A and B are shown apart, each in its own frame.
Chain A
Amino acid sequence: MDRGSKFHARVGCGAAPELRVENLSVRFADRGKSFTALDIHALEAAPGARLALTGPSGCGKSTLLYVLAGLIRPANGAVRWGGEDIFAMGESARDAWRRRNVGFVFQDFELLPELPALENVLVPATFARFSIGAELRARARSLLDQFGVPARAGPAGFLSRGERQRVALARALLFDPPVLLADEPTASLDAASGAIVIDALARRAREDGRTVIAATHDFALIERMGSRLALEHGRAAAPAEAAP
């Protein structure tokens, strides 16, 4: 889709921004004790980068994704997207920024099981500043079609796991956001369904110029990412490197 289209102008999505993380530190409290959950000295990703966050469970991959999305405020440091520190924004401005710039895919899909696939895809439009019109419905149908899910599919709770993750992917892409964040997007899927999702993520980054950052254990997904940041105990085990 042409990023200069009327649709993009209307939803406010622009070109993929550059990511720059500086001296990032996130602290959590557990039973009265504070501990450092994340400590990243520096992280950069060029517009359109594909970055895999890897490491054992609990190493801080998901936390880093939530920080990059502006959902967790770091104790120190800055997260700059396109040169703008998102934590210098007020909360509502950060919500609006996230709405315009970030698509999120979760391990467990996080759909509304009672709603049909099409309405699940349209959910982000319900908190956008414009109504769900024919144009947006057509785009939602087109995305479902691209991912092989019938637009007339019934309640999401009755879809297969693979279909549900593809619906979640379509939801993340509704506004064609320049940044796509994925938290273990293939962990709940079988190999065949996982391959479809991996292909979709990789293709979106490669062909559409989106920045894709995925926390994953899936070697097949890591292989398709352009680079990889291995985390251990909340710290970068090594500088980001090209994926194998």
Chain B
Amino acid sequence: MNPWLVARAGMAAHRGAYSVFLLLIAVAAAIGVAVSAQEAALRRGSARAADRFDLIVAAPGSQTDVTLAAIYLRPGAVPLMSPADTARALAEPRVKFAAPLGYGDSHQGSPIIGSIAAFVEHLSGGLQSGRMFAAETEAVAGAAVNAALGASFHPAHGAADDDDDDDDAGNAGHHEHSVTLTITGRMKPTGTPWDNAIVIPIESVWRAHQLPTGHADGETRIGPPFAPEKVPGVPAIVMAPRSVSDAYGLRGQWRASSTMAFFPAEALTPIYSLMGGVRDAMTLFALAAQALVVTAILAGVIAILNLHRRQFAVLRALGAPRLYIFACVFTQIAILVIAGALAGLALGAGAAFVLSKIFAMRTGIALRLEIGEGELALVAGFALFGLLASIVPAMLAYRRPPVEALAGR
């Protein structure tokens, strides 16, 4: 028994309607795939971006705000740690390094962050070209910064994204600082917002803002150790503890009345939970949309098959068993459902890919798109539902006596 010939003829007879059905199924499947794949990629990408930030110490406040500012370089009103706490944290002995993060300046859309060389090495695993900054007037560019080695510029006051935001806290305009910085090196790609950042010595940031530079007056050295009485406050400090026990010890120690300390995962977990909830809700909407689409299409297919009542009756007259009629109808819808689901998988992956690129352009977080078991299960479930639902019109055709159609009654 091979219903393909008749199924093919049926699909060819209504290729216009079937093409629309196919598109609807594909779009319905694609929505679910895109939502699921995008959320998973976002979760992986954001986790990878936080990998290098072992322990963050900041002034008490929102861990989420500090995480967004320190790791994802999203501008926000993060309070400064006191100079005394900053100096104590930067002199912390149980760390490989304690890196201050100072931001608020930018250059042609790239945020400028003041820190230390050890942090740059830790973040990007070394430079891909040039050398590390060695003076207050030198800078290291992220892998995606559009500036050549040796290029000089004046940093502008104000965060890179201030133009897009309504946040007026600390946004005092975009005047340029008088200091001239020269790019001496370029970091390796990290797949994080830091690829679009320019890192300069923290002393340069402090000096540009008429603050003490962390060293004795007249001293031009950069980097630790800092002179405690010359250290201004910073929004955050990244610590690289020497061991896991040190990490937990430091976290406990710096959770005090004037400071907070946290592992980035602590801030990301509730965000992921929220994202998961949103994904679940979106997936539910997508599944509901898929069910509606399949139901609507089945109604359309039943109407079309009604036009073929006589054709099926004729096939019965020619000797076709009922099961053959069932198979003809089921084959048509199954092809529609499976082809639509596969097209939806491709369409969803394509949509997620485009969204990832847009997201990466806007945030710098590289999203590695993977169509995993979750997305395949989603599409397989959708196809299975479609196939099961296809039994309804197939059974209607199976049960219909041929004589009514043959006799025109």
Using a CB–CB cutoff of 8 Å, the interface residues on chain A facing chain B are: 28, 62-63, 66, 69, 71-72, 91-92, 95-96, 98-100, 102, 104, 106, 110, 112-115, 119, 122-124, 126-129, 131-132, 171-172
Instruction: Of the listed stretches B6-14, B116-124, B171-179, B285-293, name the one at the interface; the rest are far from the partner chain.
Output: B6-14
With contact pairs A66-B407, A71-B406, A112-B6 given, residues A123 and B315 touching in the complex (Cβ less than 8 Å) = yes
Q: Does B403 contact A (CB under 8 A)?
A: yes
- Set of chain A residues within 8 Å of B318, measured between Cβ atoms: 98-99, 104, 123-124, 127, 171-172
Question: In the complex, are the beta carbons of A110 and B3 less than 8 A apart?
Answer: no
Question: In the complex, are the beta carbons of A123 and B407 less than 8 A apart?
Answer: no
Question: In the complex, are the beta carbons of A63 and B407 less than 8 A apart?
Answer: yes
Considering the complex, give the chain A residue whose CB is closest to the CB of B317: A104
- Set of chain B residues within 8 Å of A115, measured between Cβ atoms: 5, 8-9
Q: Does B47 contact A (CB under 8 A)?
A: no
CB distance from B321 to the nearest CB of A (A): 4
Which of B311, B315, B317 is within 8 Å of A69, CB to CB? B317
Q: Does B320 contact A (CB under 8 A)?
A: yes
- Set of chain A residues within 8 Å of B3, measured between Cβ atoms: 126-127
Question: In the complex, are the beta carbons of A95 and B6 less than 8 A apart?
Answer: no
Question: In the complex, are the beta carbons of A126 and B5 less than 8 A apart?
Answer: yes
With contact pairs A112-B6, A115-B5 given, residues A127 and B315 touching in the complex (Cβ less than 8 Å) = yes
6 additional contacts, CB 8 Å, given A62-B407, A127-B1, A127-B324?
Answer: A63-B407, A95-B319, A114-B8, A114-B13, A115-B9, A129-B1
- Set of chain B residues within 8 Å of A96, measured between Cβ atoms: 319, 321
- Supply 28 A–B pairs (Cβ within 8 Å), ascending by A: A63-B407, A66-B403, A66-B407, A71-B402, A71-B406, A72-B403, A92-B322, A96-B319, A96-B321, A98-B317, A99-B319, A99-B320, A100-B319, A104-B314, A104-B318, A110-B311, A112-B311, A113-B13, A115-B5, A115-B8, A115-B9, A123-B315, A123-B318, A124-B318, A127-B1, A127-B318, A127-B324, A128-B319
With contact pairs A112-B9, A114-B9, A126-B5 given, residues A98 and B319 touching in the complex (Cβ less than 8 Å) = yes
- Chain B: interface secondary structure? helix
Question: In the complex, are the beta carbons of A110 and B314 less than 8 A apart?
Answer: yes
Considering the complex, give the chain B residue whose CB is closest to the CB of A109: B314
Considering the complex, give the chain B residue whose CB is closest to the CB of A115: B9
Question: In the complex, are the beta carbons of B403 and A123 less than 8 A apart?
Answer: no
Considering the complex, give the chain B residue whose CB is closest to the CB of A123: B5
Q: B291-320 toward A: CB 8 Å interface, digit per residue (1/0)?
A: 000000000000000000011001111111
CB distance from A24 to the nearest CB of B (A): 15
Q: Does B2 contact A (CB under 8 A)?
A: yes
- Set of chain A residues within 8 Å of B320, measured between Cβ atoms: 95, 99, 124, 127
Cα separation A98 to B314 with both chains bound (whole Å): 12
- Set of chain A residues within 8 Å of B316, measured between Cβ atoms: 71, 95
Cα separation A127 to B8 with both chains bound (whole Å): 15
Cα separation A62 to B13 with both chains bound (whole Å): 28
Question: In the complex, are the beta carbons of B407 and A114 less than 8 A apart?
Answer: no
Cα separation A92 to B320 with both chains bound (whole Å): 9
Q: How many A-B residue pairs have CB under 8 A?
A: 85
Cα separation A91 to B320 with both chains bound (whole Å): 11
CB distance from A65 to the nearest CB of B (A): 9
- Set of chain A residues within 8 Å of B385, measured between Cβ atoms: none
- Set of chain B residues within 8 Å of A112, measured between Cβ atoms: 5-6, 9, 311
With contact pairs A62-B406, A62-B407, A95-B321 given, residues A126 and B4 touching in the complex (Cβ less than 8 Å) = yes
Considering the complex, give the chain B residue whose CB is closest to the CB of A100: B319
Considering the complex, give the chain A residue whose CB is closest to the CB of B406: A66
- Set of chain B residues within 8 Å of A63, measured between Cβ atoms: 407
CB distance from B123 to the nearest CB of A (A): 64
Cα separation A123 to B9 with both chains bound (whole Å): 11
Cα separation A92 to B403 with both chains bound (whole Å): 16
- Set of chain B residues within 8 Å of A104, measured between Cβ atoms: 314, 317-318
Most buried by A among B311, B318, B319, B322: B319
Question: In the complex, are the beta carbons of A66 and B317 less than 8 A apart?
Answer: yes
With contact pairs A62-B407, A110-B314, A127-B324 given, residues A102 and B319 touching in the complex (Cβ less than 8 Å) = yes
- Set of chain A residues within 8 Å of B1, measured between Cβ atoms: 126-127, 129
- Set of chain A residues within 8 Å of B319, measured between Cβ atoms: 95-96, 98-100, 102, 124, 127-128
Question: In the complex, are the beta carbons of A131 and B2 less than 8 A apart?
Answer: yes
Cα separation A160 to B350 with both chains bound (whole Å): 48
Cα separation A91 to B323 with both chains bound (whole Å): 11
CB distance from A169 to the nearest CB of B (A): 13
Question: In the complex, are the beta carbons of B315 and A71 less than 8 A apart?
Answer: no
Cα separation A126 to B402 with both chains bound (whole Å): 19
- Set of chain A residues within 8 Å of B314, measured between Cβ atoms: 104, 106, 110
Top 7 nearest A-B pairs (CB, nearest first) are A99-B319, A114-B12, A112-B9, A110-B314, A95-B321, A127-B320, A127-B324
Cα separation A98 to B311 with both chains bound (whole Å): 17
Cα separation A127 to B402 with both chains bound (whole Å): 16
- Set of chain B residues within 8 Å of A100, measured between Cβ atoms: 319
Which of B9, B12, B403, B409 is within 8 Å of A71, CB to CB? B403
Cα separation A129 to B320 with both chains bound (whole Å): 11
Question: In the complex, are the beta carbons of A127 and B321 less than 8 A apart?
Answer: yes
CB distance from B280 to the nearest CB of A (A): 45
CB distance from B329 to the nearest CB of A (A): 14
Considering the complex, give the chain B residue whose CB is closest to the CB of A113: B13
- Set of chain A residues within 8 Å of B310, measured between Cβ atoms: 110
